[in-house]
Amino acid sequence: MALQKRLFFHTLAAWFAAASLSAETKVLRGFTLIDGTGKPPLAGAALVIADGRIRWVGAESQLKVPAGAEVIELRGKFVMPGIINLHGHLGNTVGLAQDPKNFTRANVERQLRTYASYGVTSVVSLGTDQDLIYQIRAEQRAGRPALTRIFTAGRGFTNRNGYPTSVPGMKGVPYEVGSVAEVEKAIAELADRKVDVIKIWMDDHLGREPKIPMELCRAIIENAHKHRIKVAAHIFYLEDARRLVEMGLDGLAHSVRDQPVDAALISAMKQRGAWLAAPTLARELSTFIYADEHPSLRDPFFTRSVSEDVLRELRSPERRKRIASDPDFPKYPGFLKQAQDNLKRLADAGVRFGFGSDSGPPARFQGYFEHVEMELMAEAGLKSADVLRAATAYAAEFLGVSRDLGTLEVGKWADLIVLSRNPLDDIRNTRTIEMVFIAGHRVH
Ligand SMILES: [Zn+2]
């Protein structure tokens, strides 16, 4: 009996030793912490990560380094939460062309790696996905991802032949619905797949395509809410934004761009708790800057993730001429300005806002565009601190994942960025990336 007992305790001790060895522990120390909660930055901070989650965070003077931990010295550096993009698109683009045939595991993972290298640690793929996305998402959620986390809207909703089905490579990608019965069937499919959000495109594309009828939007919103899934809408016009919000829409996936937002929209959004989920200012910028030689084409922070072929094509005179000959081309800079003004108006009025760039389609560059988006938000008049929170804590809140993501607090995943300069001084300092971690894994 005594021997058995001793053997039992030996086995137990060995098991504990093995368990503590297998727990991967990392300590980051010496940096200034910007934790995403809105608290002032903490200089001389430290953070303990165990198995991908934050186990402890605080002043380095109180740090107890766990035995066997890997210690990473970050003196003079700044640490912020990973960026959460609430409006991106995965898988369809290769080079400057979009085609659903491109939607392969290799392409999706290549894009997730690009996002990760730019500190974008979560992305919501908004309405252009195929079934493969659910498999990759399930694999991520079963363990600790080393690539950018996927959230998905599956397939979004538009009218028959509605926007964006006319965009090259988009036919057959969203649901084109013509009746409430079709809406109900599609929502049941999406709910079965446990999509993270549902997407509507409500746009006539400057008069080129028929908009989805409002009554079908009502059916989408009501059915989605029965399954406790939020709905975000691509909108362009103020009138559409207001009517959808009054129906219970949860988030605008773009800024209003046809005219200044008014008191009616502001009060509807505040009363209903609707968000400007994704201002997508970078998307507006992309509609005109490549008609010409733009300074970003020589920015190493951009070119490091873009092939020579793509750079050459962006500079091709034929492509530039094609962009500039769009009859609506002269309006595009004005749409950006309107989007920026409307973001500032909504923010000043106390409407909640998140973060999204609409990166992923051709010439809307994943990773790089999220940093451009932050710069354009600051240019719109938002403080760096508010831009940072939109891109981290607020985005997590809109997604309903604040328990796990968005701030650097005990218990949350260690999704974070190490910067060499302070992003609160200048939002463009988010580009001084030295390291990125996702679930405690260092991204290479
Ligand atoms: Zn989009």
Encoded tokens for 36: 């995403």
List, for residues 283-300, the tens digit of each pLDDT value.
999 999 999 999 999 999
In a domain, 44, yes or no: no
CB-based neighbours (< 5 A) of ligand 1, an ion:
358
Q: What integer is the mean pLDDT of 166-183?
A: 96
Residue 19 inside a domain? The answer is no
CA-based angle 83:174:115, to the nearest 5? 20
Alpha-carbon Rg of the chain, whole angstroms? 23
Q: Is position 333 within any domain?
A: yes
**Tens digits of per-residue pLDDT, 45-100?**
999 999 999 999 999 999 999 999 999 999 999 999 999 999 999 999 999 999 99
How many whole angstroms from 237 Cα to the centroid of ligand 1?
16
State the pLDDT confidence band at 17, using cuts at 50, 70 and 90.
Answer: very low
The overall average pLDDT reported for the chain is 95
Residue 301 lies in a domain: yes
Q: Is residue 442 part of a domain?
A: no
**Separation of 88 CA from ligand 1 center, angstroms?**
6
pLDDT recorded at residue 18: 46
| CATH code, domain carrying 93 | 3.20.20.140
Residue-wise pLDDT tens digits, 372-427:
999 999 999 999 999 999 999 999 999 999 999 999 999 999 999 999 999 999 99
For residue 84, the CA-to-ligand 1 centroid distance in Å is 15
Tokens of 305: 């993730």
Counts for the chain of helices (H) and strands (E), in that order: 15, 19
The rounded Å distance from CA 126 to ligand 1 centre is: 6
> Is position 125 within any domain?
yes
164 CA to middle of ligand 1, Å?
9
**Ligand 1: centre distance to CA 124 (Å):** 10
Tokens of 59: 């002043």
* Structural domain harbouring 357: 82-403
Asked whether residue 162 is assigned to any structural domain, the reply reads yes
Residue 364 identity: R
pLDDT in tens, 302-315: 999 999 999 999 99
**Does residue 15 lie within any of the structural domains?**
no
Domain count, the chain: 1
